[in-house]
């Protein structure tokens, strides 16, 4: 099963066009979008997400800290599903989502305390059943390659880190830290920062007997 993962479009129309073409070419089972779809404009984000789904694959997404808060529960397009605080299943895969990022000094639209982040994740996972679990979190788990800022500081979420250590999902798909496109691990869990789509970055995930991840660039 092939999955494509995108994050951090930040409203770049050319990135959306190329992502849609990539989806049409690759024909993945589904698409994951890990937030920062646009900056503040929820209605524009909805249009972009619906347009991506028209390439032929369902889209599961979480908003990023820069997105409008009403995106967290939006399901206005038939093939687009918001994952924040919820669990969706695809065959034997369970998808869990967390929007936004931990509270900081930027006062962006979607921020959370680490306590709230932990509560959202716990609630989402309560009735979640699947042989493989994928967490889609805009903010990566703390103290990984995926959350290292250009300064070298780790700016990820401790709530996400704790959830990964306790639940041991198969995969975490994140973004937020633009310069940290990478693969990493926490125990058995593969951590993917797909990199900013606005710069042409995305990830190809093949889940069969195991999990193979390729960090890619739009052609």
> What local confidence, expressed as pLDDT, does residue 78 receive?
82
Average pLDDT rounded to a whole number, residues 79-100? 94
Residues 32-75 have pLDDT tens digits of 999 999 998 889 999 999 999 999 999 999 999 999 888 988 87
CA nearest 208: which of 173, 174, 170, 179?
Answer: 170
Q: Which CATH number fits domain 2-217: 3.60.21.10, 2.30.33.40, 3.30.420.10, 3.50.50.60?
A: 3.60.21.10
pLDDT band at 128; cut points 50, 70, 90: confident
Contact at 8 Å (CB) between 119 and 126? no
∠ at Cα 92 (87, 93), nearest 5°?
A: 45
State pTM to two decimals. Answer: 0.96
Residues in the chain: 219
- Residue 86 confidence (pLDDT) above 70: yes
The two tokens of residue 156 are 């990820």
- Residue 97 confidence (pLDDT) above 90: yes
Residues 2-44 have pLDDT tens digits of 999 999 999 999 999 999 999 999 999 999 999 999 998 889 9
> What local confidence, expressed as pLDDT, does residue 138 receive?
97
Q: DSSP states of the chain as a string?
A: -EEEEE---TT-HHHHHHHHHHHHHH--SEEEE-S--SSS-HHHHHHHHHHHHTTSS-EEE---TTS-GGGGG---STTEEE-BT-EEEETTEEEEEE-SEE--SS--SSEE-HHHHHHHHHHHHHT---SEEEEEESSPBSSSGGGB-TTS-B-SBHHHHHHHHHH--SEEEE-S-GGG-EEEEETTEEEEE---GGGTEEEEEEESSSEEEEEEE--
> What local confidence, expressed as pLDDT, does residue 70 receive?
86
> What local confidence, expressed as pLDDT, does residue 219 receive?
66
Query: Which residue ranges make up each domain of the chain?
Result: 2-217
Residues 130-183 have pLDDT tens digits of 689 999 999 999 999 999 998 888 999 999 999 999 999 999 999 999 999 999
């Amino acid at each position: 099963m092939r999955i494509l993962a995108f994050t951090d479009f930040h409203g770049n129309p050319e990135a959306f066009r190329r992502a849609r073409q990539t989806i049409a070419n690759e024909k993945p089972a589904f698409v994951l979008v890990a937030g920062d779809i646009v900056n503040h404009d929820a209605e524009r984000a909805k249009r972009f997400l619906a347009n991506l789904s028209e390439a032929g694959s369902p889209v599961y997404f979480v908003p990023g800290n820069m997105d409008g808060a009403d995106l967290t529960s939006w399901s206005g397009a038939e093939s687009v599903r918001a994952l924040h605080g919820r669990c969706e299943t695809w065959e034997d895969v369970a998808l869990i989502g967390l929007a936004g990022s931990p509270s900081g000094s930027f006062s962006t639209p979607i921020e959370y305390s680490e306590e709230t982040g932990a509560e959202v994740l716990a609630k989402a996972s309560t009735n979640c059943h699947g042989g493989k679990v994928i967490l889609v979190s805009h903010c990566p788990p703390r103290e990984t390659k995926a959350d290292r800022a250009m300064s070298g500081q780790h700016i990820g979420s401790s709530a996400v880190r704790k959830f990964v250590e306790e639940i041991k999902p198969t995969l975490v798909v994140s973004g937020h830290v633009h310069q940290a496109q990478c693969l990493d691990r926490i125990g058995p869990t593969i951590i993917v920062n797909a990199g900013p789509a606005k710069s042409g970055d995305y990830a190809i995930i093949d889940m069969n007997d195991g999990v193979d991840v390729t960090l890619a660039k739009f052609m």
